[in-house]
A and B are shown apart, each in its own frame.
Chain A
Amino acid sequence: MSAAAVAAGVTDPELPMVTLADLGILRDVREEADRVVVTVTPTYSGCPAMDEIRADLRRALRRAGYPHVEVRTALSPAWTTDWITEAGRGKLAAAGIAPPGAVPRRGAGPVPLVLGRTRRDVPCPRCGRPDTELISAFSATACKELRRCPDCREPFEHVKEI
């Protein structure tokens, strides 16, 4: 298997239903004469899974016959949820996690502050109701928020658009 295919199949340690490629954090895989150079980008600055992701990539590639692996970090351009693939969105939804919508385009000037934003068109992954309530803008990982469906009353996680 090519190094690119091996790296693309490595799953995320905190969202094991999706691969690093599904999440869009695997930016580049290059086979050079004596090594494989993999470039990843963190989702959030403080993502504690980055060390584990690097180790998982090295381990998977070593087991596939690529003993020399260099994992580089790319900070720019900053990761955006728009890079999550269609396949990745489908796997998140199947696991009960509402995938992100498109990141809103930002206009000129300062980042606007919207107060009282609680009800939005994030569909319930269980019953499909189109608009649900925000419980908390943060959840078990920095990249998700906690929402609740007013119909089926189930709380669920939603990957925030960034």
Chain B
Amino acid sequence: MAFDDAYDALTDHEDDARWAYGTGFADPMAGVAQEIPDGVDPAALTAYCLMLGDDALILSHRLQEWVTRAPELEDEVAVANIALDLLGQARLLLTRAGQAEGKDRGEDDLAYQRDAADFRNVLLAERADADFAQLVVRLLVFATWRLAVFDRLTAAPDPVLAAIAAKGVKELAYHREYAAGWVVRLGDGTELSHRRAQDAVDAIWPLLGELFAPDGTGLGPDPAAVRAEFDQVLDQVLTAATLSRPAGATAPGRGRDGEHTPALTEILAELQGLARAIPDGVW
């Protein structure tokens, strides 16, 4: 319903729907069938949805930190939109994890009431950006990997996970294109921007191993196939950006097992502070 005055819209409510952010929002999957199909292990589905949901929730938070700090207004809008897409993916995945778990935990419980050791995101998602080059290099790596994973999950045995992935593919393709454009612009730019971009690639590279480790649930796609697609896209972008690909591999991080850096604790302090101070608060 259209309103000429925003305050009319806010006070017109005949129910509990609202615009301001808080807790107690309507379930994003209201009315979606919740059954777990035969042949899908609920514990594995819970674990896998938590991994993908936590990746999106935590990186969304890191991207939100750039709002009011981006180099141009257009990029601020872009980064905020990407963060919003990832937050939407996180809400759907955490809701699905809660359904599969069967312990009556919703998206808010999972986002706000878990401690760092219960989060399953990769370390790549929680790292703080030192500059804009790190933002776009990390986003390129994350979106390229996640797009390759989601594209394969559109055939997942759980139809809800498959549907979430099918929506996400369209969004992630735009995220990847945005990040790739900036990596090329910085890498193939001035001496300073090239150096910053190469430093960002070098800094992020040790965190890649975790993306291609087996997830342990049997639900994720073949890591080797994901890696092949990832490598091809990264080579395409790094070549166009005149950036070099760091050599060597490192031991995968253990974010999937709940072993995180202090960066995650900092994020959760901000993300969860209000919700924990005022349990079930609505505003």
B178 at the interface (CB under 8 A from A): yes
Distance in angstroms from B38 CB to nearest chain A CB is: 19
A107 at the interface (CB under 8 A from B): no
* In the complex, chain B residues whose CB is within 8 Å of the CB of A62: 14
Q: Are B32 and A74 in contact (CB under 8 A)?
A: yes
A158 at the interface (CB under 8 A from B): no
As a 0/1 sequence over residues 56 to 86 of chain A, the CB contacts with chain B under 8 angstroms (1 = contact) are 1011101000000011111111110000000
A-B residue pair count with CB separations less than 8 angstroms = 145
B41 at the interface (CB under 8 A from A): no
A75-B29 contact, Cβ under 8 Å, with A46-B86, A55-B15, A113-B180: yes
Q: Are B81 and A138 in contact (CB under 8 A)?
A: yes
Measured in the bound complex, the distance between the Cα atoms of B163 and A45 in whole Å is 11
Q: Are A72 and B178 in contact (CB under 8 A)?
A: no
* In the complex, chain A residues whose CB is within 8 Å of the CB of B229: 110
B280 at the interface (CB under 8 A from A): no
Measured in the bound complex, the distance between the Cα atoms of B163 and A77 in whole Å is 7
Q: Are A76 and B29 in contact (CB under 8 A)?
A: no
Specify the main secondary structure of chain A where it touches its partner.
loop
Distance in angstroms from B167 CB to nearest chain A CB is: 4
* In the complex, chain A residues whose CB is within 8 Å of the CB of B89: 45-46
Q: Are A72 and B74 in contact (CB under 8 A)?
A: no
* In the complex, chain A residues whose CB is within 8 Å of the CB of B278: none
A162-B170 contact, Cβ under 8 Å, with A58-B15, A62-B14: yes
B240 at the interface (CB under 8 A from A): yes
Give chain A's interface residues, CB within 8 Å of chain B. Answer: 10-11, 13, 16, 39, 42, 44-48, 50-52, 54-56, 58-60, 62, 70-79, 110-111, 113-117, 135-142, 146, 160, 162
Give chain B's interface residues, CB within 8 Å of chain A. Answer: 1-2, 9, 12-15, 17-19, 25-26, 28-32, 74-75, 77-78, 80-82, 84-89, 91-92, 147-148, 151, 159-160, 162-164, 166-171, 173-174, 176-178, 180-181, 184, 229, 232-233, 236-237, 240
